[in-house]
């Protein structure tokens, strides 16, 4: 029984090591000096994991680190903080792919199923995710 358990465990380790998932990161500096960073895991052509964050040029913390202190909820038409809207974007990318996102001339999504949870400008985020996907090795 112990040999069987060891064999099963060994097979699991070997299979995990054979995973085709690859990781990539990229940063994009916006016209205002803010730096947006994206990290993705890609399996084949599909993004299976994505993390997006932005650091304003005059801040020591990223917007995700600031959470409610970023104080976007009051100005948001959907009453969501920045990190909540980015979570919606990250989930959308995992489900639909980054190429499915359509942007208007303000850099905001026009996809109906995305704008219900993300109304901020995301063009730099989309660019960072696309570059991270290219960099996945």
15: pLDDT strictly greater than 60: no
- pLDDT tens, residue by residue, 65-123: 999 999 999 999 999 999 999 999 999 999 999 999 999 999 999 999 999 999 999 99
Enumerate the domain spans of the chain.
2-135
- Predicted confidence at residue 10, as pLDDT, reads 46
Strand order in the sheet with 21-29: 21-29, 35-43, 46-55
Q: How far apart are CA 94 and CA 101, in angstroms?
A: 12
- pLDDT, averaged across the chain: 90
* Confidence class for position 20, pLDDT limits 50, 70, 90: confident
19: pLDDT strictly greater than 70: no
How large is the average pLDDT for residues 42-54?
97
- C-beta atoms surrounding 102 within 10 Å: 12
What is the full DSSP assignment across 12-48? HHHHHHT--EEEEEEEEE-TTS-EEEEEEEEETTEEE
- Do the Cβ atoms of 94 and 43 come closer than 8 Å? no
Select from 2.60.40, 3.90.1010, 1.10.287, 1.10.10 the CATH code of 2-135.
3.90.1010
- Predicted confidence at residue 25, as pLDDT, reads 98
131: pLDDT strictly greater than 60: yes
- Predicted confidence at residue 5, as pLDDT, reads 46
- Do the Cβ atoms of 36 and 54 come closer than 8 Å? yes
């Amino acid at each position: 029984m112990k040999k069987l358990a060891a064999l099963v465990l060994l097979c699991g380790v070997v299979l995990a090591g054979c995973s085709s998932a690859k990781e990539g990161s990229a940063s994009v500096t916006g016209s205002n000096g803010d730096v947006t960073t994206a990290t993705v895991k890609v399996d084949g052509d599909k993004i299976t994991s994505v993390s997006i964050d932005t650091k304003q040029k005059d801040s020591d913390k990223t917007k995700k680190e600031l959470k409610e202190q970023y104080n976007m909820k009051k100005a948001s038409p959907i009453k969501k903080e920045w990190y909540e809207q980015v979570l919606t974007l990250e989930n959308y990318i995992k489900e639909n792919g980054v190429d499915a996102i359509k942007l208007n001339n303000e850099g905001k999504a026009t996809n109906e199923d995305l704008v219900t949870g993300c109304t901020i400008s995301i063009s730099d985020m989309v660019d960072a995710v696309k570059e991270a996907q290219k960099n996945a090795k």
